[in-house]
Amino acid sequence: MQNKCRNSPRGSSEDYAANQGIPPEWTSSHHDLNRENGSGSPTSSDILEWLEPSHKSCLLRVGKCWRGDPLSDTGKRQQILQILSLTLLPILGLWAFTVYSVSDSIKGKTDLEQTQNAVKFSVELGLFLDRIQRERDMSVLYLSILGPETKTFLMNEYLLTDEALLMLSEWPVNDDFGEAFRSKFEFQEHLNAHRNELDPNNFDIYVEMNFYNLLIERFVVWMYGAITESSMASIWKVLVAYQKIVTGMEHIGIERALGTVFYVDGGLSQQLYERYIARVNIFKANYRSAVLYSDIVDPIFQEGVTSDGTNLTVVIERFRFEIQHSILVEASISKGQWWFDNMTIYLDRLLIIQQDLAELINGELQSIIDVEEKNLTISVCFLALVIFMCPLVIYSVEALTTGIQLYAIAMVQKSKELVKEKQKADALLYRMVPGPIVAKLKRCKSVEAEYFKSVTIMFCDINDFNKLIQTNQPSEAINLLNTMFNTIDSVIVVHDVFKVENVFDSYMVASGLLNRGTQHVSVVANLALELLSLFHSRNYTTSNGMNVQIRIGVHTGPCVAGTVTITPPQYCLFGHSVSIASRMKACCPPNSILISHSTQRILRTKDYLIKFMSTVNIKLDEKQNDTPMKTFRLVGAIGSGRKKDDPTYGLLESTTHYRNRQQECAGGEHGGGGRYPALCDTTSLSRDPSGFTESNIGDINDDNGKQDKKVSSPKCGKEKLQCHEGNHSVKPTESVQPAPEPGPHTYDL
């Protein structure tokens, strides 16, 4: 058993791919590219389209429209906008939050500084209130005692009050309290005018007290307004305690003045008595509230009132008890002086508490301000970092997008090259192995050998190729083979055949492997006739004038086909049919088509002209004897549509034309060589028109499947024909006359 394996590629063709079972989706996509671009290289948009999933949602399609072509400048900008929209949004949100944090920190720091300034102003104002309260009390004392020494003491209080007024760092402008409070200077003028009007001979103690009380109330309102203008955060309790102490000091000052009047005059009127009781109770309520709001008030106060070894609170309470429970007492300047001095010490202790609370508040405010400044510094640095990040992110995204674009362009180029190489590899694989087998190999599936009941195998080679090699240059012989094989390759692409191999000068094809049926015999017959016609028309010759003639052998029969080896895979045919087809080629006369009996039995039912050649003995097995086998020459096909001036007019259109051709080959009425000497076969055609009748043609084309009859050739001589292939020699039982050399047309290689 002989096997033939394919091991050489050939050119590509869409028709051949379709004939070889190549998947349409594989060929259509690439040929669409060829039609669009004019080449086999896909464009960037094509490759990007291939990367997209075919089952995309509407949202993805809208996103694709927004994306554009990422390899273009417009697409690059769109990609940058998309990336920035995803990266800058959180950055902008962080930037907004940072700006808010910075503004909030600035506002908090500003509020704390305002509160700190308000507390500082309240301390200054507290000192001023203490001095003006002393001035009020000394004025009441002066008017009550009417002593010249008191006037000197009163003038000293005026100076201390003026100094405290000058120490005020700011002056809240408020027209609601009158023109006297518009500025510090106007207030000073208003106060000096009242002092100058003070007359011991014409006075009213209550009017004097009301004058100072009105001034003090205005300043207390200012102090409250200054503190409450800003948020107090965590120190609001200390601030409330501070305000309670300041308010209590005002009530203590009024209590001191009324008590002085009580001891100097020996009693109080009912109205003043009620005012005194109210002032005492209001002070005690404020003090208790201050103690509840701040834990440091009572310890500081108790330490101050007991610093001299005497509990000043007990002494003051005895004076209060006397004033509250006595309507009339003996006037006593000394008691009035004692009361005034003790209450002054009491006020001084409250002033110390006020100052300590102010220092505590300022300390806490300063700590909070330091923290706020630290937070503000961090927020500002963070804001600067965020602001710096925005252009950095934009630059990085642009650089990244540019890099990705360059990488994508490089990938597209490599993808193009990869697609080209894949096309080459797939084309090569589809030419080495049939399409269905390739599909299995790509899926890594095992490929089992197949038995084909009927296939048609054709061999084609150059007659006397060994002589051609010996008498011509090697390069010329190789060029001849290359031209021959390329010619055959260009022809078989339009036929449903599979190229199995070409070894040495032999070219082997088969039909019926991919599409099973009976049409494969006609396919190979048409291919053989077309090849013979093509070589007739081109009339190849070598440089030394040697005509190049081909031999074609065809056989139809069963065979086994399968893929052997992996690298590279080879699709091989096994069986006697391969050997018989090879013998048909070896026994074929030059420029002829020799077919076996099995092929003839199928073709005789069709529109083909066939001539019996001879019976040859073929040895199919070493253990068996030679097997006789009839051989036939395929002359042509009826209805081929050839022109009469075509030198390849071997494809006859009808039996009448065939008979006329016989007459022309015989020389007709005038004798001679005839019009088509290259097509005259002296083996079976008679030069005498009467030697080839209608009955003879019927014998040639037996449509009823009867036993073939031999065609007589009474006027043609007989000559023994040797068939050679390798070291084998096959002798026909009936001699045949080789076909004459081709016509005068030459084709130099």
551 in the same domain as 474:
yes
What pLDDT was estimated at residue 594? 95
Please write down the HEC assignment for all residues of 201-226: CECCHHHHHHHHHHHHHHHHHHHHHH
pLDDT band at 509 (very low <50, low <70, confident <90, very high): very high
Asked if residue 402 is part of any domain, the answer here is: no
Asked if residue 145 is part of any domain, the answer here is: yes
pLDDT band at 632 (very low <50, low <70, confident <90, very high): very high
476 in the same domain as 341:
no
Asked if residue 42 is part of any domain, the answer here is: no
What are the two backbone dihedrals, phi and then psi, of residue 381, each rounded to the nearest 5 degrees? -65, -40
463 in the same domain as 317:
no
Residue 596: pLDDT over 50: yes
Tokens of 235: 């120190």
344 in the same domain as 232:
yes
Distance (Å) of CA 308 to CA 64, 121, 252, 670: 91, 31, 21, 172
Residue 680: pLDDT over 60: no
Q: The pTM is what?
A: 0.45
pLDDT digits (tens, 9 = 90+) for 302-335: 887 887 778 888 888 999 898 888 878 888 888 8
Say if CB 610 and CB 654 are below 8 A apart. no
User: How many residues in the chain?
Assistant: 749
pLDDT digits (tens, 9 = 90+) for 357-413: 788 878 887 888 888 888 888 888 888 888 887 788 788 878 887 888 788 888 888
Tokens of 207: 């009017």
715 in the same domain as 601:
yes
- Least confident range of 75-79, 457-461, 483-487, 694-698: 694-698
Residue 20: pLDDT over 60: no
Q: Over the chain, what is the mean pLDDT? A: 73
What pLDDT was estimated at residue 551? 93
687: domain CATH number is 3.30.70.1230
Contacts of 291 (CB under 8 A, 6+ apart): 241, 297, 298
What are the two backbone dihedrals, phi and then psi, of residue 5, each rounded to the nearest 5 degrees? -120, 140
Query: What DSSP string runs through 662-694?
Result: HHHHHTTTT-SS-S-GGG--TTT--SSGGGS-H
What pLDDT was estimated at residue 640? 53
Distance, CA of 487 to CA of 508 (rounded, Å): 14
The count of C-alpha atoms lying within 13 angstroms of the C-alpha of 600, restricted to the half-sphere facing its C-beta, is 29
- Least confident range of 160-174, 322-336, 521-535, 729-743: 729-743
pLDDT digits (tens, 9 = 90+) for 99-149: 888 888 888 788 778 777 877 777 788 788 888 888 887 887 777 764 555
480 in the same domain as 368:
no
Residue 511 pairs in a beta bridge with 456
pLDDT digits (tens, 9 = 90+) for 583-594: 999 999 999 999
Say if CB 460 and CB 510 are below 8 A apart. no
What are the two backbone dihedrals, phi and then psi, of residue 271, each rounded to the nearest 5 degrees? -65, -45
453 in the same domain as 347:
no
Residue 623: pLDDT over 50: yes
Domain final residue pick, 381, 416, 431 = 381
Mean pLDDT along residues 2-28: 44
Mean pLDDT along residues 23-37: 42
Distance (Å) of CA 149 to CA 154, 155, 521: 9, 10, 155
Domain final residue pick, 354, 381, 408 = 381
Mean pLDDT along residues 294-307: 83
Which of 26-30, 260-264, 336-340, 450-454 is the most confident on average? 450-454
531 in the same domain as 656:
yes
What are the two backbone dihedrals, phi and then psi, of residue 357, each rounded to the nearest 5 degrees? -65, -40
What is the distance of C-alpha 295 from the center of its chain?
Answer: 65
Distance, CA of 693 to CA of 679 (rounded, Å): 19
What pLDDT was estimated at residue 145? 62
What pLDDT was estimated at residue 657? 43
What pLDDT was estimated at residue 529? 93
568 upstream amide cis, omega within 30 of 0: yes
195 in the same domain as 285:
yes
Distance, CA of 110 to CA of 231 (rounded, Å): 10
What pLDDT was estimated at residue 676? 36
Burial 256-286 (b: 16+ CB within 10 A, else e): bbbbbbbbbbebbeeebbebbbebbebbeeb
Say if CB 686 and CB 661 are below 8 A apart. no
What is the distance of C-alpha 7 from the center of its chain?
Answer: 45
Tokens of 540: 């190849």
pLDDT digits (tens, 9 = 90+) for 41-70: 455 555 555 555 544 455 445 455 555 566
Say if CB 350 and CB 111 are below 8 A apart. no
375 in the same domain as 453:
no
pLDDT digits (tens, 9 = 90+) for 222-267: 777 766 654 555 677 887 888 888 888 888 888 888 888 888 888 8
pLDDT digits (tens, 9 = 90+) for 685-723: 333 333 333 333 333 444 333 333 333 333 333 333 344
473 in the same domain as 331:
no
Name the more confident of 729 and 271: 271
Angle, helices 519-538/474-492, rounded to nearest 10 degrees: 140
301 in the same domain as 181:
yes
Distance (Å) of CA 148 to CA 160, 308, 341: 19, 31, 19
For residue 413, which of 15, 703, 39, 47 has the smallest C-alpha distance?
Answer: 47
pLDDT band at 281 (very low <50, low <70, confident <90, very high): very high
Asked if residue 49 is part of any domain, the answer here is: no
Sign of torsion over alpha carbons 424, 429, 430, 436: negative
Tokens of 285: 């309520």
What pLDDT was estimated at residue 521? 92
What pLDDT was estimated at residue 70? 63
Asked if residue 87 is part of any domain, the answer here is: no
Say if CB 286 and CB 247 are below 8 A apart. yes
Asked if residue 559 is part of any domain, the answer here is: yes
Contacts of 562 (CB under 8 A, 6+ apart): 447, 448, 449, 450, 571, 572, 574
Count CB neighbours of 169 within 10 A: 9
What pLDDT was estimated at residue 554? 95
Distance, CA of 718 to CA of 614 (rounded, Å): 12
Residue 651 domain boundaries: 449-748
Distance, CA of 563 to CA of 565 (rounded, Å): 7
Asked if residue 655 is part of any domain, the answer here is: yes
Distance, CA of 316 to CA of 229 (rounded, Å): 36
Domain final residue pick, 366, 381, 396 = 381
Asked if residue 175 is part of any domain, the answer here is: yes
Into how many domains does the chain fold? 2
Q: What percent of the chain has pLDDT over 90?
A: 10
For residue 339, which of 402, 260, 422 has the smallest C-alpha distance?
Answer: 260
